[in-house]
Amino acid sequence: MNRLVKYLSVIIKWHRLIFWNTLVFTALAVVVSFILSPRYTATAQLLPPSDDGDIFGITSLLGGGASSGLSKLKAGLTGSSTGSDLTIGILNSRTVMQHVAERCSIASHYRIRKPTPEKLVRQLGDMAKFAASDEGIVKITVEANSRLLAAQLANAFVAELDSFLRYSNISRGHNMRVFIEKRLGQLDTSLAVASESLKAFQEVNKVASVDDETKASIDAYAKMQSELSVKEAEYEAARSGASDENPYVDNLRREIEASRDELRKLEQGGGADGFGVGYGVSFARLPGVAAQFARRYQDFKIQEESYATLYQQYEYARVLEARDAPALTVLDYAVPPERRSFPRRTVIVGAVLLFSLIAGIGFAFVAEYFAVIKTTRPEEYQGWRGVADELVSLVRGGRLASARKR
């Protein structure tokens, strides 16, 4: 007999069992799909702060002549993360989660008994999902038991993220301003002393200036000193947002040490007498009065350059501290969804129908197989019976053991 005919004959023989098995389980699936609590999904989309933005609040501070340092500072604080990765990290933080849960009254909506911050964060973490597209767009997806709550939660995440970034910008701008303000106070005093000393020396010794070569060397040396001051300010700003073990902070500290070593080499030079300002210009080779004037001029230029550079950063810090502009670009605010996202009744019923049909047919073939070997191969049948009896014994033994433990 053809195999296909045999298979069809088995299905026809057991058609009642297959039909009722499929019908019963499909009906149960329909009932369960209507009993399950509906859930709704709302989505908000936004663009994170760009690489030129102030996601940390200190990126603008080192602008102007130090724009390259700015991007390094941000990269150092975040590793190799993009703005989207950082934004998702902030959204997943305990602080933002807790604020959103409290703002939208998660405890009352989900009837959480004795709500604690841990319970609220855990509940909201199960409901919210964050992802970034290849274009860098951050998507906030929230699934809740009501249309309105889903939209409220997604928009609350946007609001909390924006609030966090604004506060971060302002507070870090404040920290930077305070640090630079202190340094400017010190430089202001030393600059006044250096200026007065230079002026008095000129008046007493009737010295107008130094030669062009010495002046150019001193100006270049003073520029290096001012750049070192900016690096030190950048280092202090980085430390306010990251630990000393942060790779960028550690690297910046090494750069500062290297810059100081270079300056020391220029100051000391290669000869016994040393080079007062480096670049091949030796104070020892200048006449006595000119050498003294050059030293005073050098001290004055260092203080002047450092003050001018740091004052520029101070103005950036003041602007950032006072600014309360939106930190995010929201592409789409969440709106209450029209249709539920769960349960998907068609999918549930279709899957159960297919599974129960296959299971019914499979049972029919297994039952038919044992019915055949019972008469044609009784020894094999008895072997299968022994296996079945052992399985039953194991199941009963497990039940008895669990009942005794109880």
Question: Quick check: 171 pLDDT over 70?
Answer: no
* pLDDT above 70: percentage of residues in the chain: 74
- What would the pLDDT profile of 356-385 be if each residue is shown by its tens digit? 999 999 999 988 888 888 888 888 888 888
Average model confidence (pLDDT) across the chain: 77
The DSSP line for 175-214 is HHHHHHHHHHHHHHHHHHHHHHHHHHHHHHHT-----HHH
Beta strands in 122-281 (DSSP E): 128-132, 138-144
User: CA 250: distance to chain centroid?
Assistant: 21
Any bridge partners for residue 138, and if so which?
46, 132
The residue type at 361: I
Instruction: Give residue 230's pLDDT.
Output: 74
Res. 55 pLDDT band, cuts 50 70 90? very low
Range 42-70 average pLDDT: 54
Please calculate the CA angle 322-325-327 and round it to the nearest 5 degrees.
120
- pLDDT confidence of 130, banded at 50, 70, 90? very high
DSSP lists the bridge partners of residue 139 as: 45, 131
| Cα gap 141→41, rounded to integer Å | 7
- The larger pLDDT score, comparing residue 85 to residue 152, is at 152
Q: Is 269 helix (H, G, I), strand (E, B) or coil?
A: coil
Amino acid, res. 189: T
Token pair of 107, please?
Answer: 């405890």
Greater confidence (289 vs 123) lies with 123
DSSP 92: T
Instruction: Give the Cα separation of 14 and 99 in Å (integer).
Output: 60
Distances (CA, A) of 271 to 42, 212, 261, 285, 292: 74, 22, 17, 12, 19
pLDDT tens digits, 182-192: 777 877 888 78
* pLDDT > 90? residue 392: no
Two tokens, residue 62: 């080192």
Average pLDDT value for residue range 132-143? 91
